[in-house]
Chains A and B, each alone.
Chain A
């Protein structure tokens, strides 16, 4: 064996050992990675695409700044809600992609993160009948509570002036949940004026134009207050929203995919079983049809499988149902290069060459066809990835990415690993019958 081949063999074996170490057992901690990263179609969770209404944008703000602000606030809300590893990304100009993997209370999380949550204080004026001014429908007529700020400008009193430390407390005695808040310096200036003006009158507290409560102002207050009139869940959500701040742009869900965790684990189990069956079928076919060469291909496939799994784990590549399918299909494609080489070898053997010469010729002559056919698959994968990316189809992206990695790796294993093993094999088993031709 040539020295360069010996080095190559050592390299392949080292790579294989490293990959094997990285994935045994699969959930071992290697470089901070534990187990495989599963997409939300396999572990359950939600995939949401929000679209922001840019027509409601503050003219003084750029689109980028407004969108980044919204993304940041959604992130804070998702984390405060307790979602594990949420993924929040801006997509295109006015869309936001939110992934909540493993989240069970999806509907609640959705309400929490997607709501503008603008807290407003409004006041009303007494009418002649001893009650308060009414609108056409007979409801109390509220107007935004305004006051003069420290810079002598008139400002509306909103949640904007709250410190980000609101929390839920239980009212002593009744155990009714309340959200306790504190004003920042500017808020305190405004709140003092508003409470002074509305003493012994109701002060309306509104969230996104919906009234929460309208307590009667008992005293002039400066720094803090409480909001009542909610159940525990609502109070918790409000506290999270007040702390993150209200969204500058209203959001609308334009695409949603939610998978139940039980369905995800069903899918995972089934696709693993299916994958194993598929791989065994391919191995059986290869060994029955190509004999010793098939055994070599199987060894190459084994190395391929171990390295592929290690790449998935260490990069990490998020595995989706379609991604696993791509991984399994790529096994079928991985042996294609082997088939081309083995068929070529058989031709060379029939033409009367020695085993060694046939192996060399098989590899060098099959190379062009292998290269050309893999490049076309790469082109398809790249186009697919782009296609999936433009509208956030994680199934499509997962498939394209996994197939690309699989096909690229299979070129390496088919060409280097199979060749090395085949060169070793022909030293041990010399009868051409084992390579698929009559002895």
Chain B
């Protein structure tokens, strides 16, 4: 029998290896914030003739938008990010580009947020993640209320969850400076969805531990936890796999608009398998052993 629980220190080490680069990146570089968190304007432009990126950059600078970040999408459109502008400035910018580049311009998508809103969004996002975690903890503690120390189950489930969230945050911080991935309100949506979904597998594992404790399959809590993990590992992987399949399909074929969002979901779900199987159960044992020196009967 594979002994996941006794090798738990190895898995905690893997977690640390996964966490550290992301945390360093978060501390050093922070995040590339989307405009709903930092204010500004994002727009997608389609030109009727071929326009090269350096040419577009030159024109943007000439029109007074030297700060613009310009990205070419896979569909051949240009994604521009500039400061917050009003309708008059928008019209002037489009007219200016039309004239300077001698081409027709279609504004496919325009999104602008003032600093006023951006501050509120960032604050509410933090509240939302906090509130969701607290409710999860309360619910898990409630669901396991007949177990000894229900709070401990809730706390371990939420630690495993935050471990998942922290890894995704770290990866997005790294992807931010590597390929310009942004943290915006859709990213927060992905995080909360991960919070709601990834705890499912942990619940499945814990549910089995609960059942096995009632059955009394072993006197040793660690052995009970280990068998419970092994008994549920296939379903944990399979339930996530179906979500991964649907996410992959949307990522590959669903267009650029929600790619970053789906990527955040995907990473979260994959990491979620890891922390349900290798972190959530072993954490219970760690807490148990940390408090009692000898193996404890279930």
Smallest CB-CB separation from B243: which chain A residue? A332
Cα distance A10–B143 in the bound complex, in angstroms: 34
Inter-chain contact B135/A270, CB cutoff 8 Å: no
Inter-chain contact A321/B196, CB cutoff 8 Å: no
Cα distance A395–B111 in the bound complex, in angstroms: 13
Cα distance A439–B143 in the bound complex, in angstroms: 37
Inter-chain contact B189/A321, CB cutoff 8 Å: no
In the assembled complex, A37 has its CB within 8 A of some CB on chain B: no
Q: How many A-B residue pairs have CB under 8 A?
A: 221
Contact bitstring A214-226, B, C-beta under 8 A = 1, else 0: 0000000000000
Smallest CB-CB separation from A391: which chain B residue? B121
Inter-chain contact B197/A379, CB cutoff 8 Å: no
Cα distance A82–B176 in the bound complex, in angstroms: 43
In the assembled complex, A262 has its CB within 8 A of some CB on chain B: yes
Contact bitstring A256-290, B, C-beta under 8 A = 1, else 0: 11111011001100110111011101100110010
Inter-chain contact A373/B124, CB cutoff 8 Å: no
Which residue in A328, A336, A372 is a CB contact (below 8 Å) of B250? A328
In the assembled complex, B91 has its CB within 8 A of some CB on chain A: yes
Contacts of B143 in A (CB 8 A): 368, 372, 375
Smallest CB-CB separation from B244: which chain A residue? A332
Query: Given A368-B207, A379-B135, A384-B192, do A263 and B87 touch, yes or no (CB 8 Å)?
Result: no
Which residue in B87, B189, B197, B203 is a CB contact (below 8 Å) of A372? B203
Contacts of B199 in A (CB 8 A): 373, 376
Which secondary structure dominates chain B's binding surface? helix
Which positions 273-321 of chain A face chain B at CB distance < 8 Å?
A: 273-275, 277-279, 281-282, 285-286, 289, 321
Contacts of A374 in B (CB 8 A): 200
Inter-chain contact A393/B200, CB cutoff 8 Å: no
Smallest CB-CB separation from B131: which chain A residue? A383
In the assembled complex, A254 has its CB within 8 A of some CB on chain B: yes
Inter-chain contact B238/A339, CB cutoff 8 Å: yes
Query: Given A254-B117, A396-B186, do A263 and B108 touch, yes or no (CB 8 Å)?
Result: yes
Inter-chain contact B242/A285, CB cutoff 8 Å: yes
Residue tally, chain B, CB below 8 Å to A? 72
Query: Given A260-B108, A388-B185, do A270 and B197 touch, yes or no (CB 8 Å)?
Result: no
In the assembled complex, A63 has its CB within 8 A of some CB on chain B: no
In the assembled complex, B195 has its CB within 8 A of some CB on chain A: yes
Minimum C-beta distance from B256 to chain A (A): 9
Inter-chain contact B207/A377, CB cutoff 8 Å: no
Q: Categorize the interface residue count of chain A.
A: 35 or more
In the assembled complex, A38 has its CB within 8 A of some CB on chain B: no
Smallest CB-CB separation from A347: which chain B residue? B231
Quick check: which of B64-72, B216-224, B258-266, B284-292 contacts chain A, the rest being far away?
A: B258-266
Which residue in A332, A390, A399 is a CB contact (below 8 Å) of B124? A390
Contact bitstring B102-143, A, C-beta under 8 A = 1, else 0: 000011111111101100110011011001100110011001
Contacts of B117 in A (CB 8 A): 49, 254-255, 391
Inter-chain contact B196/A340, CB cutoff 8 Å: no
Inter-chain contact B185/A285, CB cutoff 8 Å: no
Inter-chain contact B246/A331, CB cutoff 8 Å: yes
In the assembled complex, B36 has its CB within 8 A of some CB on chain A: yes
Cα distance A332–B241 in the bound complex, in angstroms: 8
Smallest CB-CB separation from A320: which chain B residue? B258
Minimum C-beta distance from B84 to chain A (A): 9
Smallest CB-CB separation from A331: which chain B residue? B246
Inter-chain contact A387/B188, CB cutoff 8 Å: yes
Query: Given A340-B235, A377-B196, do A107 and B124 touch, yes or no (CB 8 Å)?
Result: no
Query: Besides A258-B107, A339-B235, A383-B128, 7 other CB < 8 A contacts?
Result: A41-B257, A254-B113, A255-B117, A373-B199, A393-B36, A393-B185, A396-B186
Q: List 19 A-B contacts (CB under 8 A).
A: A254-B116, A257-B111, A258-B110, A258-B111, A274-B253, A275-B246, A278-B246, A281-B249, A329-B247, A332-B246, A339-B239, A343-B238, A369-B207, A373-B203, A378-B196, A390-B120, A391-B185, A399-B189, A400-B189
